Amino acid sequence: MQPPFPCENKAKGVFYGYCAPGVDVYTCEESLKLQCAPEDIGNWFLDGCGGHARPYHHHNELSCYYDHSTNTHSPLVGIAKDGYGIYGIYEKDKQAPTDLDACNGHYGPVPELKISNYESTLSSTLDASGLLNTNQSAGTNVYHYHTTTDFPFTIGCYGPKTSSECAGGTLDGSDDQCGTGTDATVYVPTDGGQVQIEHPPNHGSYDTYCSCRYTKVGSGLTKTGEVLPIADSSSSSTNSAIGLSCHNIVHLLMILACIMTNITLK
């Protein structure tokens, strides 16, 4: 059986390369570019659509799941288990939102939802608070999540939440894996060199299994596209305690997994 190392020197029959548990998949893949010879890197963990495995699920932006060429708000791609909608990367005019909170969500208008367009398992759409209801017209202002081309790619917690609320691990829907001391030292390539990834920024290392979105400062986090700032929200979640593993955080039209394994949201 192949050892759990992603790179293979076939000439020597050696498997090598390592990613610490709890590091997001994209950062892991980038770090392997420093550890492994280009010819020894096989298939990446994720395919070109940002997903993998059976049942198929996503750890990155859903690049193949909806039309990215339109100038309107990206469509609904799923429903988080707290009842809020998850939409694609764009807010409008092919521009990503600039005010996402620590959970990768914000308040704003969303497209009209018609339940007939989606799976029969989704029995209702979103009401004015963002939660499930049977009617929602175009432009309704609600709290909702976006997928992003940078960390955390899907959702970081159950929002709305500030960075400190997300990482506190005490509020409903927060991440109790932040600040537990399970840090990792991770380097990724840059033009002409390398940089250590700090999560949260200026933390000095990578706080593994912590799924919260942070403002990029200094080395920040790896990304597949532009970096977006966050805006703290004064609102806190009133969702009931959930305690789900990462791969059960969201219920989607196509299964969408969180960026890491074994995260537990309170």
pLDDT digits (tens, 9 = 90+) for 120-137: 444 444 554 545 444 455
Of all residues in the chain, the percent with pLDDT exceeding 90 is 30
Q: What's the pLDDT at 50?
A: 86
Q: What's the pLDDT at 56?
A: 87
Pairing of the two strands 187-190 and 14-16:
unpaired
Q: What's the pLDDT at 235?
A: 33
Q: What's the pLDDT at 65?
A: 85
Q: What is the pTM of this model?
A: 0.76
What does the pLDDT look like over 186-230, one tens digit per residue?
999 888 788 899 898 888 899 999 999 987 655 566 666 433 333
Cα gap 111→85, rounded to integer Å:
11
* Residue 62, number of CB atoms within 10 A of its CB: 23
Q: What's the pLDDT at 79?
A: 86
Q: Domain residues of the chain, as ranges?
A: 57-176+227-266
Cα torsion angle, 72, 74, 76, 82, sign: negative
